[in-house]
Amino acid sequence: DTEVTQTPKHLVMGMTNKKSLKCEQHMGHRAMYWYKQKAKKPPELMFVYSYEKLSINESVPSRFSPECPNSSLLNLHLHALQPEDSALYLCASSQQGKSETQYFGPGTRLLVL
Amino acid sequence: SQQGEEDPQALSIQEGENATMNCSYKTSINNLQWYRQNSGRGLVHLILIRSNEREKHSGRLRVTLDTSKKSSSLLITASRAADTASYFCATAAQGAQKLVFGQGTRLTINP
């Protein structure tokens, strides 16, 4: 199974809402990633979890809060977002988090009103 | 900062023609990877070429790497409408935990 799943596919939220994005993989990968992608731009790395520990935070605002409950699951908690946070949020995983191939989920399309 | 730069930014060709896109980067790398993204969807890994390799093939894809020029190219032969997508190169430094993506090339295959 080489699939990374993400839920929900689409999300609309107001600036005062709290919501969560979920990502799951069953490939036994020990590194998981959150990316943000704006239209016609490359993905921008937000967070990296390696062996369930946060190893990289690319200076992401605190209104984004990642969580890795176990090696298969990755969440991104959203609170008090701004309209400019509207984007495609991509989750990815890789075997050990050492510059190897990354496997991406289909993404969550987020719209902040 | 983004390390990979790609050109062209957009490419439109007829079905059956070959498509070539280029990627340049700035620092030493462990490997370079190419990904495809269909509109609004996740990225799909195409091919990984290591810094000690010069050329790699996968089906209709051919990737070259020139570490002296810090550049790579992706050739798609006998293009099909289904190849219409954005293509990104991504570089990985030795031991790095992250990939750095180029700006991407938007490829359109016209029937």
The model's pLDDT over A31-62, given as tens digits with 9 standing for 90+, comes to 999 999 999 999 999 999 999 999 999 999 99
Structural domain boundaries, residue B105: 5-110
pLDDT-based confidence at residue B3 (cuts at 50, 70, 90): low
Which residues in chain B have Cβ-Cβ distances shorter than 8 Å to A56?
97-98
**Token digits of residue B101:** 């993506």
CA distance A94 to A2: 10
Look at strands A64-70 and B55-58 and give their pairing.
unpaired
B24 CA to chain A: closest CA distance, Å? 15
List the CATH number of the domain containing B79.
Answer: 2.60.40.10
The answer, yes or no, to whether the previous bond of A8 is cis (omega within 30 of 0) is yes
Which residues in chain A have Cβ-Cβ distances shorter than 8 Å to B85?
none
Please give the interface size between A and B, counted as residue pairs whose CB atoms are below 8 Å apart. 63
| Alpha-carbon distance values, A13 to A10, A39, B81 (Å) | 10, 19, 36
Which residues in chain B have Cβ-Cβ distances shorter than 8 Å to A43?
43, 88, 101
Res B93: pLDDT: 86
**Is B43 an interface residue toward A (CB < 8 Å)?**
yes
CA distance B25 to B30: 12
Count of domains for chain B: 1
B2 pLDDT higher than 70: no
pLDDT-based confidence at residue A1 (cuts at 50, 70, 90): low
Nearest to B97 among A6, A48, A103 (CB): A48
Mean residue pLDDT across chain A: 95
Instruction: Name the residue with higher pLDDT: B101 or B40.
Output: B101
Residue of chain A whose Cα is closest to the Cα of B46: A101
Helix (H) or strand (E) holding B19: strand B19-24
